[in-house]
Every structure is written in structure tokens, then in C-alpha cells.
Amino acid sequence: MPLTFLQGSHELETKKQAPQHFSSLALLRVLYEDKKISFDDYLEYFGYLSSYRFRFLSLNPNDIEMAVFSDSEIKTIKPENIRKLNFPLVLSEEYGVPFQTAFNVVGGFLLKVLMDNTITADIAERIFIEILETFPTKKNKKDFGQMLLRICIRAIENNKSKFVLFQNYQVINKKIDRLLQATEIYNSETQIWTPEK
């Protein structure tokens, strides 16, 4: 198993080399990679650990992809599974994850969603809203969403010439337009009025 963020963090804290399988999460990850358990089982355990604020749970765009689209032969799309990954904790600066790193993780996943022509604009919007609702930032959700989309658009534009197979850019543009419209629901993030005491 390659050195993960989890192992690296352990080594930084203890000043000792981490054993190959040193935590229950690492063990479950190996069991998943060896196809002994499903990603849903791994996701449930990840959610359980994060609910107890377990430290140094690593996360990457592929993990989010597996949570949303599953790893079974019959694909089920569950954007609500993003909540099981506990972004407010696992991607927070208080947890030790720099904003840029967290932004790159969700941005890498969103880019895959935009580039995959089998994912409809409706599904992309549901996923995007889950990201906006759960990502830990003090930024206005509209501004954050637009910033995330700008980075994805730039990556798509920069890589157009590198694609070997023709991409249907009309589908991609339709999804981007839909997600930009979705940010408008956050236009007036107003505070709920409470009576003075």
C-alpha cells in the first residue's frame, strides 16, 4: 500500500515509521482494494470514524466519485453520500487541511463530473449542490461555487487540445450553465431574523 496522508501524519506525530496496516481504516481500505468489502462498507466506516472526529482521514477525488457513483456492477447515483464523507470536518482547516488542498480535492471530482458525458445536467446539479452545502468555507456559497466552476472551466479549456477522443462540449457547456444558475439560489444568503431579548 502506498504511503498515504494518514500514514504520513502518523509518522510526523510519532517520529516513527508507520506500519503498513496501522489503523482500522487502513485495513478496511486494503480490504476494499482487494475486493473483500464494497466501497459502501468502507464509506459507512469512514462516516462512522469522522462522526467521532477521528483524526487524519484522507480523502481524494476518486473516493468522492466512488461514494456518489458506487463501485458495484449496477451503478447507483447517490449525491447524498457526499455527506457521509463529512467535508465540514475532513476538509476543514481546523482539521489540518489547507483550503487549497480541500479545494483541489472537490475541484478534481467536479471536473470529472463535468467531463463525463454520461452524467446529465440534473445529476451534476445535485452533486454540485451537495458540494456547496457541505464544503467548509467562510466564503459566500455563491462566490465559492463560481470560483470552483471557473477553475474547472480553465482546466477544460487548457486540456481541450490534449483530448484524444472527441468530447461533446455542448453537453459540458450545458452542465456548466446549469451549475452557474444553481449558484444563484445562494444570491442572498441572509441571516434568519431572531427577536431581540
Residue whose C-alpha cell reads 469522522 in the numeric block: 50
Q: Does any domain span residue 14? A: no
Residue 193 lies in a domain: no
Q: What is the total count of domains within the chain?
A: 1
In this structure, is residue 82 part of a structural domain?
A: yes
Query: Cβ(26)–Cβ(4) under 8 Å?
Result: yes
3 vs 14: CA distance, rounded Å: 15
Surface-to-core class of residue 167, CB atoms within 10 Å of its CB (0-12 exposed, 13-18 middle, 19+ buried):
middle
Q: Is residue 95 part of a domain?
A: yes
The answer to whether 121 touches 173, Cβ cutoff 8 Å, is: no
Is the pTM for the entire model greater than 0.75? no
Q: How confident is the model at residue 53 (pLDDT cuts 50, 70, 90)?
A: low
pLDDT of residue 54: 60
What's the rounded Cα separation, in Å, for the pair 36 and 147?
Answer: 39
* Domain with 181 in it: 19-185
